[in-house]
Amino acid sequence: MEHSFASATILLLLITDPLGNIPIFVNSLKAVPAQRRSRVILREVLIAFAVLLAFMFAGQAFLRAMSLSDVSLQIGGALVLFLIALRMIFAPPTPPDGPVPSHEPLIVPLAIPALAGPSALATVLLLVSQAPERRLEWVAALTVTMLVCAMVLLLAEKLQQRVGERVIGAFERLMGLILVSIAVEMMLRGIKELARTWPD
């Protein structure tokens, strides 16, 4: 599937899922003083951005080292996206009050894997492998994605209080349906490419 700047940004937003991460961030930051929470959120978003950016630039070398083809990455990425989409649509019930952390989170679980998880890493790798000459465009898409994530997560507590968990959950399921369609399209294109190059 050939992506434009807009479709790549939307795909990255669906994968990083800032709305779905609101309960994780709110619960993880309960032990952090209110006046410091914004700093922690920005720090975690920056760490996730740095990890994804590093993977975007080192991804090709990683593929060569592992002897992975673009087709295998596309099909594997489609499977991962499909599973993520199913989890978004059929989200398991979560208890209203999970255990409250007793310390300030650092990198885990907010930056990794909440934002820069395996699916996000695979997605940036897939974007670069399909069109390495458009790397700066993918960097811009990732930058926009991280800015949106930062804004949503900085407003996480207010959004959860005013909108409600049911509305957030319904919106996340809608994003899951869109992601299913993207995953199926990627899978079909990957299978077509595999069939075309099978003798090789």
- Give me the DSSP letters along 149-171: HHHHHHTHHHHHHHT-HHHHHHH
- Which two tokens mark 41? 């959120």
Residue 51: pLDDT over 70: yes
Per-residue pLDDT of 56-65, as tens digits, reads 998 777 777 8
157 neighbors 29 (Cβ within 8 angstroms) = no
The pLDDT value recorded for residue 157 is 87
pLDDT of 93 reads 62
Q: Which residue has the higher pLDDT, 41 or 74?
A: 41
Is residue 23 classed as helix, strand or coil in its secondary structure?
Answer: helix
Do 125 and 55 touch, CB atoms closer than 8 A? yes
Return the domain boundaries, the chain. 5-197
Tell me what pLDDT residue 1 has: 58
DSSP 92: P
Partnered with residue 106 across adjacent β-strands are 108
For 123-179, the pLDDT digits (tens) are 898 888 888 899 999 999 999 999 999 999 999 888 888 887 778 778 778 888 888
Kindly report, residue by residue over 86-119, the tens digit of the pLDDT: 887 887 665 555 555 667 888 988 998 889 987 8
- What's the confidence (pLDDT) of residue 200? 56
Is the pTM for the entire model greater than 0.75?
Answer: yes
Band of residue 12 on the pLDDT scale cut at 50, 70, 90: very high
- For the chain, count helices (H), then strands (E): 8, 0
Helix segments in 17-69, DSSP class H? 22-28, 37-66
Q: Is 108 helix (H, G, I), strand (E, B) or coil?
A: strand
| pLDDT score recorded for residue 38 | 95
Q: What is the mean pLDDT of the chain?
A: 84
